Chain A
Amino acid sequence: MRLNKTQLLFTYIILGVWSVIVLFPIWTLIVNSFKPQKQIFKNPFGLPETFTMDGYREAWNNGRFDLYFINTLIVTAIALGLILFIGSMAAYALAKWKSPVSAFLYIFFIAGLMIPIRLGTLDLVRLIKALNLQDTYWSLIPVYVAMGMPIATFVLTAFIKELPGEMFEAAKIDGATEWQIYSRIVLPLMRPALATVAIFNMIKIWNDFWFPLVFIRAEESRTVALGVSLLFGQYRTDWTRALAVLSLAAVPMLILYMLLAREFIKGLTAGAVKG
């Protein structure tokens, strides 16, 4: 619909004010991380007069951020790969196997969308200990994979169900096995849905703080979120460093978001739009 002048003005004022409320903290976060402390307090909103990288240098050397980034990358990459692989295999069976078993399993998976895995944390702590994975970032991977199953089966099963049935029958008549149909036909077609699932899980895993907090203490196994919480505690009164640490955690995701805003929005709301 087209808006008249008053409506347009009203729209711009409301959305404009909210945009300032959103962008202003992000702006001060990044800009002030390059200022010495005194300047932050004197001139919190403007560009830096004297530009400093001290905060970043400190965080990088003191906090071993290089390590945290690598750890988080390893965990996120492996967990994502597994979620997409075993999730899409399961989704193919859930979509194509007509049986009470698959109908039950579908509901069993979907229920996980509403029941947060955190409530099982105490038992997970014991399980991770029993598997001798405590204090390593490997402990996070199986938990994240399990956590990703509901959204993966939900989105991917719906996608496969909408593919034309004749395609599968034709492949069957040509003598293709289910594995061949899955790997050569379904997987390539499923790319957009896989991207949605990947983005949803990537944001959740990259930003997760709860499981690292519970499972990991050792410095060499820390993730970015855990490193941020420990360093922020240390730097609470040194704003240059504190803001540098927060920027280090926030900026990679923000850049990805600016490049892929549409996909991010679609991915993060994936669990809800069809719910």
Chain B
Amino acid sequence: MTRAQELLSVKNRQKITWILFLLPAVTMYLVFMAGPLFDSLRLSLYQGEGYNPTTFVGLQNYRDLFTNPLWREKFFNAFANTCIFFAIHMLVQNTLGLLFANLLSSEFRGRNFFRTVIFAPATLSVLVTGFLWTLILNPNWGAVNKTLIAIGLKEFALPWLGRENLALPIISLTSVWQWVGMPTVMFLAGLMGISDELLEAARIDGASEWNIFWKIKFPLLKPVIGVVAILTFVDNFNAFDVIYAMAGAKGEPAYSADLLATLFYRTGIAGEHPVGIPDMGMGAAIATMTFAILMTGVLFWLYFSRKQAME
């Protein structure tokens, strides 16, 4: 063997080593995640009952989803509800997170305790949180209404999960209760990265804490705000457990808490009552639409965070 050949074979052997290192992870990821994701897109072009929809129908499922009033109403209802769910998280969860993080970024006794407490619900199962709050919000026996009645606010003791205009906001707030620790910790990490000298200099110049927050901290936090927003978006557009626990698979009452994920579950997996036969093609079409919504959001975020980084 010439020297060159020898070098080449060493290089090849090196390459094979790397491929062997990657092979198990790539195989698992491809077969059980990426593959099913893409095959679900293909499945949306088929119709048929049970687990093997075999009739190729082109874009018929999408046509039904957007033009058949039955489907259109369900889909846009779920889409609008998911947007509301997301909006409440952005407004309440992420604002509270920013507030808590800002408070936790200064030094005082008990800071670690508060951080630990605020984050604690994030380690619970969403299902447990949802069930627990249905008990607390129970109109007759729950702690919330009992307290309201005890302090003389009987007229505010409402059936929180039983009214169409209340169920979704209340469930969203339960979810906020659980997840507010995430943005808190992320914003806190961002705030800790801002140099103390910068803030001290502003204070010496007589700037108020309010101005320091809006003029210095907030602009510097923009990249973190972007990350928090996109993670909230992705999580919210997949939320299922909390609705299932508090409003059932149908997002009751009267589909007022139906999200894209619960619609997907009923259509593609459980089958709609009373028929109970899953429509996998249509389920796949709903999943594909969710996928498209997510991709649009993520690409927007990538575009804007790139642009911001350039400036």
Chain A interface (Cβ within 8 Å of chain B)?
A: 1-3, 7-8, 11-12, 14-15, 18-19, 21-26, 28-29, 40-41, 44-45, 82, 86-87, 89-90, 92-94, 96-97, 99, 102, 105, 108-109, 112, 114-127, 129, 142-143, 145-147, 149-150, 152-153, 177-179, 182, 203, 206-207, 209-210, 213-214, 224-225, 228-229, 232, 239, 242-243, 246, 249-250, 253-254, 256-258, 261, 264-265, 268-269, 271-273, 275
Contacts and interface: CB of A to CB of B under 8 A. Distances in A.
B124 A122 contact: no
13 contacts: A15-B100, A29-B132, A44-B143, A44-B146, A89-B21, A90-B22, A116-B234, A118-B238, A120-B37, A146-B31, A178-B18, A232-B131, A258-B116
Interface stretch (B70-78, B159-167, B181-189, B250-258): B181-189
A149 B127 contact: no
B124 A273 contact: no
Interface in B270-301: 280, 283-284, 287-288, 290-291, 294-295, 298
A115 B26 contact: no
A177 B15 CA distance: 13
Contact of A149 (B28, B36, B141, B284): B28
Given A25-B133, A115-B291, A122-B284, A261 B119 contact: yes
B122 A268 contact: yes
Contact of A254 (B38, B124, B280, B288): B124
A54 to B, nearest CB: 17
A90 B146 contact: no
Given A14-B103, A123-B36, A124-B36, A25 B231 contact: no
A123 B177 contact: no
Contacts of B43: 122-123
Interface of B: 14-15, 17-18, 21-22, 24-26, 28-29, 31-40, 43, 51-52, 96, 99-100, 103-108, 110, 114-128, 131-133, 135-136, 141, 143, 146, 177, 181-182, 185-186, 189, 196, 199-200, 209, 227-228, 230-231, 234, 238, 240-241, 244-245, 261, 268-269, 280, 283-284, 287-288, 290-291, 294-295, 298
Contacts of A129: 51
